[in-house]
């Protein structure tokens, strides 16, 4: 629901919204911003990796993800990739301490992870992948996470610490090119994966899925995909 009439947006916000306040906002690198929010508890509990939405103006919502939750379930962190020239990115970049916002927390299932898992994505998926990897790290049925994320080269050092075990590749001009090249180059190793989660640019995910199915031998049901943005579209 990226855009809707103002009255409907207000009803939606009231039905699913939880009041929150920004407690910290830090630009960790040129294109990445972490924002910590004190937030009303969600009945089913906030979960790292969960989809959330913010109403960024009268008619418009944008999707983001919970990167981390504190033990009390009343503070969450979100990692914004300020890589789009759109209203969501401008709204996020202007968030500062004390600002009150509403977080829409639908009860979306967080993908489960079995065995050795491959994560692929771009800047928009760093927070999600960090959240999912950290959740899984507490469960001893899971092997180590690996994978690759492409991001602007000048952000690399900030992201390396957030995603240990995941390659941070310098993004090329064409979205998805760096990750596709990385999969091709590591195809021999791909057989060791039990499953894969692909996030980020829609057209790149399709390409990655094709390579994993046809060349890396992963089963169709072992690959989950979640497009976060698409060339030529606003607010997926």
Ligand X SMILES: Cc1cc2nc3c(=O)[nH]c(=O)nc-3n(C[C@H](O)[C@H](O)[C@H](O)COP(=O)(O)OP(=O)(O)OC[C@H]3O[C@@H](n4cnc5c(N)ncnc54)[C@H](O)[C@@H]3O)c2cc1C
Interface positions with ligand X (CB under 6 A): 51, 62-65, 78-81, 83-89, 123-124, 127-128, 228-236
Count of beta carbons in the 10 Å neighbourhood of residue 157: 11
Q: Which residue has the tokens 């507490």?
A: 138
> Shortest distance, CB of residue 38 to ligand X, whole angstroms?
18
| Region label for 66, one of left (φ > 0), alpha (ψ between -120 and 50) or beta (otherwise) | beta
Task: Output 111 or 235, the one with its CB closest to ligand X.
Answer: 235
> Shortest distance, CB of residue 60 to ligand X, whole angstroms?
8
Contact in structure between 10 and 17 (CB atoms under 8 Å): no
Rounded Cα–Cα distance for residues 135 and 48 (Å) = 7
Task: Output 101 or 216, the one with its CB closest to ligand X.
Answer: 101
Task: Output 13 or 194, the one with its CB closest to ligand X.
Answer: 13
3-state secondary structure 145-198: EEEEEEECHHHHHHHHHHCCCEEEEECCCCCCHHHHHHHHHCHHHHCCCCEEEE
Bridge-partner residues for 104, per DSSP? 17, 53
Task: Output 154 or 189, the one with its CB closest to ligand X.
Answer: 154
> Shortest distance, CB of residue 197 to ligand X, whole angstroms?
12
> Shortest distance, CB of residue 44 to ligand X, whole angstroms?
17
> Shortest distance, CB of residue 201 to ligand X, whole angstroms?
7
Query: How buried is residue 16: exposed, middle or buried, by Cβ count under 10 Å (0-12/13-18/19+)?
Result: middle
Rounded Cα–Cα distance for residues 147 and 158 (Å) = 17
Rounded Cα–Cα distance for residues 16 and 204 (Å) = 31
> Shortest distance, CB of residue 104 to ligand X, whole angstroms?
11
Closest to 37 measured CA to CA, from 115, 84, 92: 92
Helix (H, G, I), strand (E, B) or coil at 16: helix
Task: Output 53 or 142, the one with its CB closest to ligand X.
Answer: 53
> Shortest distance, CB of residue 53 to ligand X, whole angstroms?
8
Task: Output 119 or 228, the one with its CB closest to ligand X.
Answer: 228
Task: Output 92 or 216, the one with its CB closest to ligand X.
Answer: 92
Residue nearest to ligand X (CB): 86
């Amino acid at each position: 629901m990226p855009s809707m009439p103002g009255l409907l947006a207000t009803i939606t916000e009231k039905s699913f919204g939880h009041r929150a306040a920004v407690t910290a906002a830090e630009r960790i690198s040129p294109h990445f911003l972490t924002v910590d929010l004190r937030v009303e508890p969600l009945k089913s509990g906030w979960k790292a990796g969960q989809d959330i939405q913010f109403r960024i103006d009268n008619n418009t919502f944008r999707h983001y993800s919970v990167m981390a939750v504190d033990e009390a379930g009343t503070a969450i962190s979100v990692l914004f990739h300020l890589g789009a020239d759109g209203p969501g990115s401008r709204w996020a970049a202007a968030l500062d301490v004390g600002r009150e916002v509403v977080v829409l927390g639908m009860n979306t299932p967080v993908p489960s992870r079995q065995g050795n898992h491959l994560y692929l994505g771009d800047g928009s998926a760093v927070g999600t992948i960090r959240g999912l990897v950290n959740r899984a790290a507490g469960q001893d049925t899971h092997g180590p996470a690996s994978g690759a994320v492409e991001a602007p080269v000048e952000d690399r050092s900030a992201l390396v610490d957030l995603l240990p075990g995941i390659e941070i590749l310098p993004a090329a001009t064409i979205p998805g090119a760096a990750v596709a090249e990385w999969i091709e180059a590591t195809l021999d190793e791909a057989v060791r994966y039990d499953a894969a989660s692909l996030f980020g640019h829609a057209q790149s995910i399709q390409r990655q899925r094709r390579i994993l199915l046809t060349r890396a031998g992963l089963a169709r049901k072992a690959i989950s995909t979640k497009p976060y943005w698409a060339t030529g579209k606003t607010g997926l």
